[in-house]
Structure formats: structure tokens, C-alpha cells
């Protein structure tokens, strides 16, 4: 690895030079099945023909101007996203953390416009919202925050999936202006809430005039079986953040707003130099078109069920399994012990996986994965988990 690169990542001993579909090749020509999609980024896999063609065409036409001027592709993307989500308008940036920063700024301005001097945003334990100073403060993981104190004021924390905790906040904190949560907590080990949790959060937000802000940076763009995870619950948030799968590897994030929240930001309140440039918007438009045209959200739901069922069958009575969890192609297998070692073991077998929250094997495969590739992923992974658990017993 290049020693001139800042030492911010614990990297695995492999470097990829080529990708096609659900497969990657390293510098020695070894082939790997991608069960992670660059952490939910490459939903259409690698070197997808539609994305490659669109990017080459756009690069030969116009890559960047500035948000000082109108950007027709940005307007087109905003129209597509609002049509698909039921939201009203969009702010474009480069990442999920930036999208969440925009949401946090909307909440604070919204609070001040209501006359609240110290607006407070409710966030959840075990959440992940990014690594900028405000978003790492919102994140419910002490490891992410450690060493970066003083953190940002203005956040109150509750247990995820505990509506009574949120009701207690409502009774005791009159400075609350918004709730920021993930429809499925990803980094803490793929944790969907109870079926009625988001609807109850929506109702509480309505009752107290709070903004309901959903972080769909990982769950959005077809990953959970719907274009957006909130669409499983027949609700619409006030603020919605997206990134990862939106550009299929081209950096882009967006903060969508609805109702009162859509009117909060005005010229001069917020901005982004690169956000929503023609290249990124062309990529995102192609992603959305491909997902809709090929019904890939529905495919994610069916494929997720297949993988979870086959994993549970293959692992059988394997001791050490705590729980299987998932929604679409966000899949977690929680073990009763730290299992980071499995990432390296899978790599040696030509399979890319991830471990979240130390004890959960996390799978985020491309939405285009075939049944045969999904079965191969399970056939490779299940024996590794069985061997790992039996060795440690």
C-alpha cells in the first residue's frame, strides 16, 4: 500500500484493478465475488454498461460548471427523486455525511424560525450518520466519537425502536425540533425496527410539530426492496437523506425535503462546490432509470429472502448464531462472539463480506446478483461461519 496515504483505514491485503457485474479482480488476477458492493454503493455492480456509457458521454460533454448557474441535469434528477419519493425538493452534495449535515442545518433553522433558541435533534443509540463533527455527534457509537471532543451541542439520544423513550423526551424537552433516525440501522449490525415503529415516530412528530428526518444513506435506492425504505411503512418523512447507491460509485448525496421543511433553506444558507454537478447527476439519473426499468428493488426483496433462507438452512443447528436479520439486500447474521476474523477468511475463499458492530456478518450484495451467484455466496460463507463457531467452542 502507498505509505504517503494518510493512515485512516485498516485495509485488507488486497487491491482491485478491475470489476464486472458482481465480480472483482485483484492485481494478481484473482477473482472475488462481491457480497458488499463497496458498502452498499455499487447496487448495479461494476462496469455496468449503462453507467459506463452515460459517464463517457457526459465526460465528453460537460463535467462541472458551478451552482452559480443553472444545471439542467440537476433539475431533472431532483424531479425524478421527488416523483419517486413524494418529497418536494432536493439539495445536492457529495456524500451521506454532507446530506445529513444539510438535514441537521434544516432542523436548526426550522427551530429558530419557531423561536426556539437551543433547538435539539433526537437521535438513536447505535446509529451511524457520518464522520463530520456534527454527524459523528449524532452517531450513537462512542468509538466513532472518542478523541474528537468537544462534540456539537443540540442532540438528545434515545434507544432505537423504543417509542416510549421518544414519548418521554416529548414530555420533558420542549426544545426538540426534529428526530433523525435510520429506517434500518446498518453499521450496528443490520437492525430493522418493529413494523409499527416508524409510523409511531411519524405520529409523534406530527403531534409535536417536529421534523421526521430519515437517514436513508444506506437503505435508499432499492436496497431494502423498495426504492426507499420508508415506503414499507406507508409514511412520508419531512427530510430524507440519500447517497451510497445513488451514483453507483460516482460521489453524490442529496437531502430531500417536504412541506415546511422544503421552505427552510434559502439562498446563502447552505451550499456545495461540487454537489449536483452534471457528471454526478447523469450517473444518478442512469441508476434510477435502470433500477426502475429492471425492477431491481423488487429483485432485492426476493433475492434477500432467498439468501437469508438459504443461509439459515446451510447453517442449520450451528451453535453461535444469535439471530438472522435483514430487509431486502441488507442482511446480517449475528454471532455470539466477535467475528472480524471471518472477513479475512472469506477473502481467502474469494468472497467479499463485512462485519458490523464486531459480531454481525453483514452482506450488501449488488441488486443485479443472479440466483446462482447468490447461492455461491451462501455456499462459500456458511462453511466459514460453521468452522469459525466450532473452532471457538
Residue set of the binding site for N(2)-acetyl-L-ornithine:
131, 272
Concerning whether 128 is annotated as a catalytic residue, the answer is: yes
How many angstroms separate the CA atoms of 169 and 173, rounded? 6
Cβ 236 vs Cβ 87: under 8 Å: yes
How many other β-carbons are positioned within 10 Å of the β-carbon of residue 173?
11
- Which three cell numbers, joined as nine digits, stand for 238? 419531512
How many angstroms separate the CA atoms of 325 and 161, rounded? 15
**Burial class of residue 293 (count of CB atoms within 10 Å of its CB; 0-12, 13-18, 19+):** exposed
**Cis ω before 150 (30° cut-off from 0):** yes
Element (H, E) at 376: helix 371-392
Residue in 34, 215, 233, 238 annotated catalytic? 215
The binding site comprises 96-97, 128, 131, 215-218, 272-273
How many angstroms separate the CA atoms of 62 and 58, rounded? 6
Residue in 91, 92, 128, 388 annotated catalytic? 128
DSSP summary character for residue 238: S
Residue in 226, 233, 244, 388 annotated catalytic? 244
How many angstroms separate the CA atoms of 247 and 4, rounded? 28
Cα maximum dimension of the chain: 63
Active site residues: 128, 215, 244
Amino acid at each position: 500500500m502507498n505509505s504517503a496515504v494518510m493512515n485512516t483505514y485498516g485495509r485488507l491485503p488486497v487491491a482491485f484493478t478491475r470489476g464486472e457485474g458482481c465480480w472483482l479482480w485483484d492485481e494478481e488476477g484473482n477473482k472475488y465475488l462481491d457480497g458488499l458492493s463497496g458498502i452498499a454503493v455499487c447496487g448495479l455492480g461494476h462496469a455496468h454498461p449503462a453507467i459506463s456509457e452515460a459517464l463517457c458521454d457526459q465526460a465528453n460533454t460537460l463535467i462541472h460548471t458551478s451552482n452559480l448557474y443553472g444545471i439542467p441535469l440537476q433539475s431533472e434528477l431532483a424531479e425524478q427523486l421527488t416523483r419517486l419519493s413524494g418529497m418536494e425538493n432536493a439539495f445536492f452534495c457529495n456524500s451521506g455525511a454532507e446530506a445529513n449535515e444539510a438535514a441537521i442545518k434544516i432542523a436548526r433553522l426550522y427551530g429558530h424560525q419557531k423561536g426556539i433558541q437551543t433547538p435539539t435533534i433526537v437521535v438513536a443509540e447505535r446509529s451511524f450518520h457520518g464522520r463530520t463533527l456534527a454527524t459523528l455527534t449524532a452517531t450513537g457509537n462512542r468509538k466513532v466519537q472518542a478523541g474528537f471532543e468537544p462534540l456539537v451541542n443540540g442532540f438528545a439520544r434515545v434507544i432505537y425502536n423504543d417509542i416510549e423513550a421518544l414519548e418521554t423526551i416529548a414530555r420533558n424537552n420542549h426544545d426538540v425540533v426534529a428526530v433523525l433516525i435510520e429506517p434500518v440501522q446498518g453499521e450496528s449490525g443490520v437492525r430493522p425496527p418493529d413494523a409499527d415503529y416508524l409510523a409511531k415516530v411519524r405520529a409523534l412528530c406530527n403531534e409535536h410539530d417536529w421534523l421526521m428526518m430519515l437517514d436513508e444513506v444506506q437503505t435508499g435506492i432499492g436496497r431494502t426492496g423498495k426504492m426507499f425504505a420508508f415506503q414499507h411503512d406507508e409514511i412520508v418523512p419531512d427530510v430524507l437523506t440519500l447517497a451510497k447507491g445513488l451514483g453507483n460509485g460516482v460521489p453524490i448525496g442529496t437531502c430531500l425535503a417536504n412541506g415546511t421543511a422544503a421552505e427552510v433553506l434559502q439562498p446563502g444558507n447552505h451550499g456545495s462546490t461540487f454537489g449536483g454537478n452534471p457528471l454526478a447527476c447523469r450517473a444518478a439519473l442512469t441508476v434510477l432509470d435502470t433500477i426502475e426499468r429492471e425492477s431491481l428493488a423488487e429483485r432485492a426483496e426476493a433475492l434477500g429472502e432467498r439468501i437469508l433462507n438459504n443461509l439459515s438452512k446451510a447453517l442449520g443447528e450451528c451453535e453461535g448464531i444469535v439471530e438472522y436479520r435483514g430487509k431486502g439486500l441488507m442482511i446480517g447474521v449475528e454471532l455470539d462472539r466477535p467475528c472480524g476474523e471471518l472477513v479475512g477468511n472469506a477473502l481467502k475463499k474469494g468472497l467479499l463480506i463485512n462485519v458490523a458492530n464486531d459480531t454481525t456478518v453483514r452482506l450488501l450484495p449488488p441488486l443485479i446478483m443472479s440466483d446462482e451467484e447468490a447461492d455461491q455466496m451462501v455456499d462459500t460463507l456458511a462453511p466459514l461461519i460453521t468452522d469459525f463457531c466450532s473452532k471457538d467452542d
